[in-house]
Structure 1
């Protein structure tokens, strides 16, 4: 069975798991930290904004079932790509939107997709989501893993902090691909 990984940051990692986890071809989705300069950071360290890390999800997928391009399309529909320093109620550099690419092929796909979104006219503000080379990914503490399953009520409250309304406004009847 083929296997590849994708890493996306789009605000609180709790809200980034379910949209991918529920798709065919996804083997696992891990919440964690990446992009910074501290090895094996803790949640408290990342929240201190001193590590350079961003909350992200690492997705292990079967590219014969779901393509990287499909994952990028799903990613866009979970985030506000016009907000560089946070997502919805989650503010600061640890919540910035980033596509972390693992290869030149992933970079090409992500950049092409970002260009299509930029030119689509869907947003009046510029698309500011960064595309960066992947750095070491550190899984978050166990209590952060599969949070939408462990604490559905709190997960719903996170989603209600603006993310769901934004998704409905911009993506509900979207033909963007």
Structure 2
């Protein structure tokens, strides 16, 4: 485990951010949780209310020899609307804003470079507003929120459909593929 690293991404509803990362070679674990706020040991209810200061995030344990951080970034961007300053899709509020939480200077540099590439070469005319922030304490979400897409496949499908996420990805990111 000494070679493993951690990456943390906020991309709106964390239910929709797990599946794109899991089952990739070198991805050890993807956990839903909360980061960036002022409340100690927040609950889903606290975060959803918008009063905790936390964002919904996924924290990824990965083997950088098999799946480099830069590849995680290239998978992250096409899952979000990086131009939305007020949340993601149907989910509104600070708790749903996008962010890359970096765990070291190498990640910070890579995140800044990837954002610059999206600004210069991406499909958007509006400014990229995804924050790049230092990682803080990660609070794992309650068990019912872990691997939600497997535990509640119908509710997950409905969330993706009604949220507008899939439509946005298909229209703006060529179906979410790496580009």
TM bucket, shorter chain: over 0.9
- Count of aligned positions: 177
* 8 A Cα contact 2:30 2:60, kept in partner: yes
Structure-1 residue corresponding to 2:64? 63
Q: How does 1:113-124 map onto structure 2 within 5 Å?
A: 113-124=114-125
**Secondary structure at the counterpart of residue 79 of structure 2:** coil
* 8 A Cα contact 1:85 1:97, kept in partner: no
Question: Comparing 153-162 with 51-60, which one deviates more in the overlay?
Answer: 153-162
Structure 2's unaligned 5+ residue stretches are none
Correspondence 1:172 to 2:174 = yes
Runs of 4+ with >4 A deviation: 173-177
Q: How does 1:106-117 map onto structure 2 within 5 Å?
A: 106-117=107-118
Shift of 1:50: 1.2
2:164 aligns with one of 139, 162, 165: 162
* 8 A Cα contact 1:31 1:58, kept in partner: yes
Structure 1's unaligned 5+ residue stretches are none
Shift of 1:22: 2.2
Q: How does 1:27-176 map onto structure 2 within 5 Å?
A: 27-160=28-161, 161-172=163-174
Structure-1 residue corresponding to 2:19? 18
TM-score scaled to structure 2, two decimals? 0.95
TM-score scaled to structure 1, two decimals? 0.96
* 8 A Cα contact 2:79 2:176, kept in partner: no
Residues 1:121 and 1:144: Cα distance change in structure 2 (over 3 Å): closer
**Secondary structure at the counterpart of residue 154 of structure 2:** helix
Offset from partner CA, 1:127-158 (integer Å, 9 cap, x none): 00000000100000000000010001111111
Residues 1:157 and 1:111: Cα distance change in structure 2 (over 3 Å): same
Q: Matches of 1:30 and 1:121 in 2, distance apart?
A: 28
Q: Matches of 2:177 and 2:15 in 1, distance apart?
A: 26
